[in-house]
Amino acid sequence: MRKSLAGLVIVSMTLSACGGWRDSRVNPSNWFGNSRSEPVSESPAQTNPLIPEQTGSIFRRRAVEEVYQGTPVDQITALTIERTSIGAIIRVEGVTLRQGAYDVRLTSETEGEPVNGVLELTLAALQPDDTPQGPERSRTVTTGRALSATDLEKITTIRVIGARNVMTTGR
pTM for this prediction: 0.63
Q: Which residue has the higher pLDDT, 87 or 18?
A: 87
Per-residue pLDDT band at 53 (split at 50, 70, 90): low
Angle at 139 between CA 136 and CA 141, to 5 degrees: 120
Q: Which residue has the higher pLDDT, 41 or 9?
A: 9
CA–CA gap between residue 72 and residue 130 (Å, rounded)? 17
pLDDT in tens, 15-40: 666 666 666 666 666 677 677 777 87
CA–CA gap between residue 160 and residue 94 (Å, rounded)? 10
pLDDT in tens, 127-152: 888 888 889 899 999 999 999 999 88
Angle at 148 between CA 145 and CA 153, to 5 degrees: 115
Res 3: pLDDT:
79
- 157-161 and 140-148: which strand pairing? unpaired
How far, in Å, are 79, 82, 94, 138, 151 from residue 166 at the CA level? 10, 19, 11, 22, 21
Res 44: pLDDT:
60
